[in-house]
């Protein structure tokens, strides 16, 4: 890279990830641009996860860990963000340009972060970015998980530090990642997931499948969309769109059910000033029924 090498911190919350964590750590160790710090938060693991983290910290000086008490089960959504913030509080360096939250069951190629930082360098308004996610079916095939180009993958979410600070960090609730990239736009930053060979992200779990089952995960996804403030017309479109992927039909129906259930229960919603108006405008533009509020200069 011609410009000054970016300094970045990765925070990875994990619980019982002994199957996937070694591969994830190796993929970071092989990066062409090494992180300043790689903080792995052991969220009460009961398997060999902590030993894997300890061995990594002994091998790589830029790896260190935080260990949380076992709370009885893996908690997605708010639990993951709480674990992230325990890692955030353990950052030792004061000088870094980017902060990345990365899941312990994902792997990336050796030029992932170098390529991503090239995207940031090209676009001064880019605040948060990721590559595209591909599900590893263990048969040599990779199936792309579909997200819009303006959405950023929560599993490997990289933000400029000044963007992270501007949005006040992550919300400790389900759909924290969706809220994050909408808040970025409200602050004048662009968000993007790039389809680039060097930015391919390999996953071993279906997106939105939850730690219990994919059916529970899809219902929780719909509940999270209600909490975030998604417009009813948009959730209908999301449900129809997701019916075309595994689990076919039922997955989309469960997303709609989760949203409806949250509405029937009068679940409190995310209420940051102006957020829902901005979100609805963006969603209506996606449906070709309106126009977004924010205007961000082109790259």
CATH architecture designation of domain 8-203: Alpha-Beta Complex (3.90)
With tokens 């126009």, the residue in question is: 291
| pTM score | 0.91
Residue 220 has pLDDT above 80, yes or no: yes
Among the listed residues 170, 285, 152, the one whose alpha carbon sits nearest the alpha carbon of residue 207: 152
The domain locations on the chain are 8-203, 214-286
Structure tokens at 187: 């602050």
Mean pLDDT of 209-218: 69
Residue 137 has pLDDT above 70, yes or no: no
DSSP codes of every residue in 155-199: TEEEEEHHHHHHTTS--SSTTHHHHHHHHHHHTT-EEEE---GGG
Per-residue buried b or exposed e for 214-228, using 16+ beta carbons within 10 Å of the residue's own CB: bebbbbbbbbbbbbb
Mean pLDDT of 255-284: 96
**Residue 235 to residue 286: CA distance in whole angstroms:** 12
Q: Which pLDDT score, from 0 to 100, does residue 248 have?
A: 86
Among the listed residues 222, 219, 220, 215, the one whose alpha carbon sits nearest the alpha carbon of residue 248: 215
The model's pLDDT over 20-74, given as tens digits with 9 standing for 90+, comes to 999 999 999 999 999 999 999 999 999 999 999 999 999 999 999 999 987 766 5
Q: Which pLDDT score, from 0 to 100, does residue 13 have?
A: 96
Q: Which pLDDT score, from 0 to 100, does residue 136 have?
A: 75
Q: Which pLDDT score, from 0 to 100, does residue 76 have?
A: 63
Q: Which pLDDT score, from 0 to 100, does residue 145 have?
A: 86
Average pLDDT, the chain: 92
Q: Which pLDDT score, from 0 to 100, does residue 85 have?
A: 97
């Amino acid at each position: 890279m011609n410009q000054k090498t970016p300094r970045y911190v990765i925070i990875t919350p994990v619980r019982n990830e002994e199957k996937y964590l070694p591969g994830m750590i190796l993929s970071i160790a092989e990066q062409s641009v090494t992180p300043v710090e790689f903080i792995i938060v052991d969220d009460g693991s009961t398997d060999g996860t902590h030993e894997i983290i300890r061995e990594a910290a002994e091998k790589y000086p830029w790896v260190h860990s935080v260990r949380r008490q076992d709370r009885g089960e893996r908690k997605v959504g708010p639990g993951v963000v709480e674990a992230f913030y325990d890692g955030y509080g353990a950052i030792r360096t004061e000088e870094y340009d980017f902060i990345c939250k990365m899941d312990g069951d994902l792997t990336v190629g050796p030029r992932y972060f170098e390529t991503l930082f090239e995207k940031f360098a090209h676009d001064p308004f880019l605040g948060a970015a990721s590559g595209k996610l591909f599900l590893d079916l263990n048969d040599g095939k990779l199936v792309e998980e579909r997200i819009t180009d303006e959405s950023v993958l929560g599993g490997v979410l990289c933000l400029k530090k000044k963007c992270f600070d501007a949005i006040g960090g992550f919300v400790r609730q389900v759909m924290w990642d969706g809220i994050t990239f909408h808040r970025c736009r409200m602050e004048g930053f662009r968000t993007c997931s790039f389809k680039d060979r060097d930015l391919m992200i390999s996953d071993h779990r279906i997106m939105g499948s939850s730690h219990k089952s994919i059916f529970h995960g899809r219902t929780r996804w719909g509940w999270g969309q209600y909490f975030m403030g998604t417009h009813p017309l948009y959730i209908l479109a999301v449900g129809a769109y997701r019916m075309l992927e595994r689990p076919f039909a039922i997955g989309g129906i469960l997303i709609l059910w989760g949203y409806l259930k949250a509405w029937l229960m009068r679940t409190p919603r995310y209420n940051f000033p102006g957020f829902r108006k901005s979100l609805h405008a963006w969603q209506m533009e996606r449906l070709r029924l309106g126009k977004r509020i924010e205007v961000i200069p082109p790259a």
